Amino acid sequence: MRVWEASLVFYITCFIGAEILRWIVRTFVPKLPSSLTVQLLNEFIGTLQICTPMFDVGTILETYGLFGVFVEITVIELANCYMVRDCVASPCPIVTSCYRKRKILRRALYVLAVQITAAFLSSRLARLFFSFGIHPVHLEVASNYECSTDLSVALTTGAAIEGAAVLLGKCVETVASDRYADSWLQYLVNSSFAGFICALGINFTGLYGNPIVASACTFNCLGVSHLGHLAVYWASPIVAWYISEFVLGVEDDFDEIEEEPKKEEKVKKEIKTNKKDD
């Protein structure tokens, strides 16, 4: 089996596993889809689905180079466009939402805690799959318990690169949404740009563009302090996200998730009122 075939098996396993978990939540969790419990479970599953495949990027880079990374990220992001749902899977919109709306702080902390937990678990799941030894390269990765940072430039340069990538990504998303709203072309443009920008910056910072993915893959790794990691992979993308919302006026996914329980409560109150009137 070639490396890309083993990697494809890994990605398919990740996505099928996520769909099975979603089916379990829909079938066995006795809560409405808009309830906090279900939303947190979906957030956990979505974050796992986003983070876990990223542990194979280094293998593709070493084997197939930058073009291989471009193809890999494009395919993964395209699959995410169709299969990742009912979640945010990024702390950026959560933090910027809290800045604008202090009243959602408690709920945001719940979601952020779930994301961090899923990110921590994703590395264990990836290592478990690699330990099966589908390919010798994966087996080698599973046996290596030490990791080193992907940051090969100064902290300020790395922060600028990560921030610029997030800002450019939001710009491309906005343009694609305006021109190709709800079509496969919109997903293809967004996914292709994600693959392109990742291949462009992977040798400098790893180019994660998502703080939770960066922490899942490199937090506590050798070569950069915890504070340096937070500055490059958290502070810079969050600031860039906030700037993009201010400049582009993009909608915030976390705000949409927040509104659903309120609508549910309003419906319940109306039902109770109607019963009293009867």
User: What CATH number is associated with residue 33?
Assistant: 1.20.1080.10
Confidence grade of residue 271 (pLDDT, cut at 50, 70, 90): very low
Q: Is residue 110 situated within a structural domain?
A: yes
CA–CA dist 122, 250 (Å, integer): 29
pLDDT value of position 264: 47
φ/ψ of residue 20, rounded to 5: -65, -40
Q: Is residue 272 situated within a structural domain?
A: no
Q: Is residue 257 situated within a structural domain?
A: yes
Residue 232 has pLDDT above 80, yes or no: yes
pLDDT value of position 34: 74
Q: Is residue 99 situated within a structural domain?
A: yes
Domain membership of residue 16 as a residue range:
3-264
pTM of the model: 0.87
Q: Is residue 116 situated within a structural domain?
A: yes
Q: Is residue 74 situated within a structural domain?
A: yes
Highest mean pLDDT among 116-130, 139-153, 241-255, 264-278: 116-130
Q: Rounded to whole angstroms, what are the CA distances from 252 to 42, 94, 241?
A: 18, 9, 10
CA–CA dist 129, 138 (Å, integer): 8
**What is the C-alpha end-to-end distance of the chain, expressed in Å?**
69
pLDDT, tens only, 260-269 = 455 545 544 5
Residue 225: partners with Cβ closer than 8 Å, 6 or more residues away:
none
Number of domains in the chain: 1
pLDDT value of position 86: 87
**Residue 30 burial (CB < 10 Å; 0-12/13-18/19+)?**
exposed
Share the mean pLDDT of the chain: 88
Tokens of 102: 């202090």
pLDDT value of position 267: 45
